[in-house]
């Protein structure tokens, strides 16, 4: 038997994906087998609470290409991807979610672009199937807002489904941020980048793990990681509103001292006050987000904790793709 280091590392973060794991493995294995080059599939179990862990363990026992990383709890999607990248051995690293909304069959096209010299190849969504109107419109607005606010070019309509070269992966591992927005960090790194377009399919099974709260956190991480414009906007708005308030105060003094008009409209004055108080609280919230990030960084805690890092067999580039049955 001839042993090889993997040329390709496929990173699959998993969180409560019991219904789709076996289908994900079969499609990934079929695609990678057709390439006839050594590879590894790194499943990162991000503290799943369903039966994802035993299913992945069963697959890893049957397929020597699988490496299974179990985190000690749920640390989040970006941390799980980072855990996989920290352990990937391939010269090209591909990140793909287990839900099969991003098609594994696009990987050979990404690899072809990589072989032509591109160091980052990201999947760009031409169309999003099976998603609500709210999800589509908020995602569209977020990507364009992020592009407006940041000083770097972060491609719109892209996720974490992408291929990165070993050099890019090593550079990414040296970035110490705790609140990570990986697609933005990869754009910040530079290197030669291109895209492949695809139609994002509906989830094969199960429910999305990105709740509205998690989506808002990811959006906040993206904006605060790559832009100080919200702070500048707070300063400019504060100066502008202070100027307006001072002008209105002069107008009140003018009416009181130099005219016989009675000052009326206390209800409207209260409304103005409430507006200003609300605006001040928003500004304090923006400051709080940035201060919170500083606090997290200074704690210097690890981004994730690994419970188990398992490869049941020494990696072998061999033709063993028997149909592994799912765990009952």
Q: What is the DSSP string of 220-254?
A: HHHHHHH--HHHHHHHHHHHHHHHHHHHHHHHHHH
Task: Reply yes or no on whether the pLDDT at 91 is more than 60.
Answer: yes
Parse the chain into domains and list their residue ranges. Answer: 8-227+302-310, 229-299
User: 């407006």: which residue's tokens?
Assistant: 148
Q: What is the pTM of this model?
A: 0.69
Task: Reply yes or no on whether the pLDDT at 143 is more than 50.
Answer: yes
10 Å CB burial of residue 325 (0-12, 13-18, 19+) is: exposed
CB neighbour list of residue 95: distance below 8 Å, 6 or more residues apart: 11, 13, 81, 84, 85, 160, 161, 162, 164, 182
Task: Reply yes or no on whether the pLDDT at 31 is more than 50.
Answer: yes
10 Å CB burial of residue 7 (0-12, 13-18, 19+) is: middle
State the pLDDT at residue 166: 92
For range 14-31, the mean pLDDT: 89
* CA-only gyration radius of the chain, Å: 25
Return the SS3 of 127: strand
Task: Reply yes or no on whether the pLDDT at 106 is more than 70.
Answer: yes
Return the SS3 of 41: strand
State the pLDDT at residue 318: 46
Asked if residue 13 lies in contact with residue 46, where contact means CB atoms within 8 angstroms, the answer is yes
User: Higher confidence at residue 265 or residue 49?
Assistant: 49
Confidence band for 295, pLDDT divided at 50, 70 and 90? low
User: Which tokens sit at 42?
Assistant: 């790194």
For range 71-81, the mean pLDDT: 88
Task: Reply yes or no on whether the pLDDT at 210 is more than 60.
Answer: no
State the pLDDT at residue 193: 87
Centre a 10 Å sphere on the Cβ of residue 318 and count the other Cβ atoms it contains.
Answer: 14
State the pLDDT at residue 9: 93
**Percentage of the chain exceeding pLDDT 70:** 59
What's the rounded Cα separation, in Å, for the pair 54 and 60?
Answer: 10
> In this predicted model, what pLDDT tens digit does every residue of 127-140 receive, in sequence order?
666 566 666 676 66
Task: Reply yes or no on whether the pLDDT at 92 is more than 80.
Answer: yes
Task: Reply yes or no on whether the pLDDT at 146 is more than 50.
Answer: yes
Please choose, from the candidates 213, 225, 216, the residue with its C-alpha nearest in 3D space to the C-alpha of residue 296: 225
10 Å CB burial of residue 174 (0-12, 13-18, 19+) is: exposed
H or E element at residue 200: strand 193-200
State the pLDDT at residue 131: 61
Task: Reply yes or no on whether the pLDDT at 287 is more than 80.
Answer: no
For range 229-248, the mean pLDDT: 68
For range 164-169, the mean pLDDT: 91
What's the rounded Cα separation, in Å, for the pair 15 and 44?
Answer: 8
Q: Does domain 8-227+302-310 have CATH number 3.90.550.10?
A: yes
User: Which DSSP string corresponds to 253-309?
Assistant: HHHHHH-------HHHHHHHHHHHHHHHHHHHHHHHHHHHHHHHHHH---S--EEEE
State the pLDDT at residue 42: 93
CB neighbour list of residue 195: distance below 8 Å, 6 or more residues apart: 121, 122, 123, 124, 155, 158
For range 122-129, the mean pLDDT: 74
């Amino acid at each position: 038997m001839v042993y090889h280091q993997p040329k390709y590392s496929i990173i699959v973060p998993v969180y409560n994906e019991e219904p789709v794991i076996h289908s994900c493995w079969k499609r990934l294995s079929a695609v990678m087998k057709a390439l006839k080059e050594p590879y590894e599939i790194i499943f990162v179990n991000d503290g799943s609470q369903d039966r994802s862990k035993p299913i992945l363990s069963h697959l890893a026992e049957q397929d020597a290409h699988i490496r299974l990383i179990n985190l000690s709890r749920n640390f989040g999607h970006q941390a799980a991807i980072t855990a996989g990248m920290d352990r990937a051995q391939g010269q090209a690293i591909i990140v793909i979610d287990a839900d099969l909304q991003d098609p594994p069959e696009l990987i050979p096209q990404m690899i072809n672009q990589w072989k032509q010299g591109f160091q980052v190849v990201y999947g760009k969504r031409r169309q999003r199937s099976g998603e609500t109107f709210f999800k589509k419109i908020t995602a569209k607005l977020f990507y364009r807002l992020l592009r407006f606010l940041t000083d770097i070019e972060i491609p719109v309509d892209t996720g974490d489904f992408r291929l990165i070269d070993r050099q890019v992966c090593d550079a990414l591992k040296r970035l110490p941020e705790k609140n990570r927005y990986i697609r933005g960090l990869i754009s910040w790194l530079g290197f030669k980048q291109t895209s492949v377009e695809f139609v994002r399919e509906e989830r094969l099974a199960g429910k999305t793990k990105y709740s509205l709260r998690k989506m808002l956190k990811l959006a906040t991480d993206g904006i605060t990681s790559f832009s100080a414009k919200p702070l500048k906007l707070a300063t400019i708005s504060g100066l502008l509103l202070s100027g307006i308030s001072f002008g209105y105060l002069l107008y009140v003094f003018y009416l009181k001292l130099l005219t016989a008009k009675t000052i009326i409209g206390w209800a409207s004055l209260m409304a103005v006050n409430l507006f200003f108080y609300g605006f001040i609280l928003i500004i304090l919230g923006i400051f709080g987000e940035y201060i919170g990030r500083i606090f997290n960084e200074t704690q210097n805690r690890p981004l994730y904790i690994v419970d188990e890092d398992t490869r049941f067999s020494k990696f072998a580039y061999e033709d063993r793709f028997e149909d592994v049955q799912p765990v009952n």
